[in-house]
Amino acid sequence: MAQHHLNDETLLDYATGSLGEAPSLLVATHLALAPEAAREVRHYEALGGALLERLEPVAMESPAGAVLARIEAANDDAAPDAAPMAAAGAGLPAPLCAYLPDGLDGVRWRKVGGGISEYVLPIEVARGEKVALLRIEAGRGVPMHTHHGDEWTLVLQGAFEDENGRFGPGDIAITTPDDTHHPVADTDGDCICLTYTEAPLRFKGPLAPLFNFLAR
């Protein structure tokens, strides 16, 4: 069943540093764009801090420790009252700056076809996992597909609509192998998303063999 928000269990895993680097980047970026979710996670961070005192040697070596360290370094560079959007990459949420030093304008997109472009982030992932920026041109869509694992789609710019509703900047769409959907970008501008997939997508329809090949 699709969700619009991260659940408490995921936020707790993030706050305690037990989430991998790839999903942690999605959570951190979502929190930078959605202040209400950030308030909620502070409670978990207080709890996580208490846990870390006991678990620190293990927690700091975890992949999530790596992304948190990068984010903290980025935050240290910013003024204490800086807006979530860092100056280094105009329009880029602070957690992404370490991964995209030239901002969204400097992204070397790979055209996938059908108005879709992709940029796979240089981030260590488990086998089958992928973290990528996805650009859907205005009015275009990702072909109908389902998933071999969970898929998190965080909107950075523009908006898209699918069978589960409409998602704008800061919204996160969580889909599972039970969901089949066809996300379509709004007609007034390109939609740029940060996506995390546990496994390749599974496309349906007449062009499915081609898209399934490209998605591997």
Contact yes or no for 202/212 (Cβ under 8 A)? yes
Give the span between the Cα atoms of 11 and 163, in whole angstroms: 25
Judged by CB under 5 A, the chain residues 53 through 112 that form the site for Zn ion are none
Sheet with 184-185: strands ordered across: 165-167, 160-162, 184-185
Give the span between the Cα atoms of 87 and 37, in whole angstroms: 23
CB of 21 to Zn ion, least distance (A): 22
Give the nearer residue to Zn ion in terms of CB position, either 16 or 175: 175
162 binds Zn ion (CB under 5 A): no
CB of 159 to Zn ion, least distance (A): 16
Give the nearer residue to Zn ion in terms of CB position, either 29 or 175: 175
Q: Is 172 helix (H, G, I), strand (E, B) or coil?
A: strand
151 binds Zn ion (CB under 5 A): yes
Judged by CB under 5 A, the chain residues 172 through 211 that form the site for Zn ion are 175
Stretch that binds Zn ion, among 4-12, 32-40, 70-78, 171-179 (CB under 5 A): 171-179
Matching residue, tokens 């089958």: 128
φ/ψ bin of 55: left (φ > 0), alpha (ψ from -120 to 50), beta (otherwise): alpha
CB of 7 to Zn ion, least distance (A): 18
CB of 161 to Zn ion, least distance (A): 13
Q: Which two tokens stand for residue 131?
A: 């973290």
Matching residue, tokens 């959570």: 27
Give the nearer residue to Zn ion in terms of CB position, either 66 or 171: 171
To the nearest 10°, the Cα dihedral for 152, 5, 81, 74? -20
Give the nearer residue to Zn ion in terms of CB position, either 75 or 180: 180
Question: x/- site string to Zn ion, residues 20 to 59, per CB under 5 A?
Answer: ----------------------------------------
Size of the site for Zn ion (CB under 5 A): 2
Q: How many CB atoms lie within 10 A of CB 53?
A: 9
CB of 163 to Zn ion, least distance (A): 10
User: Which residues in this chain contact Zn ion in the complex, by CB under 5 A?
Assistant: 151, 175
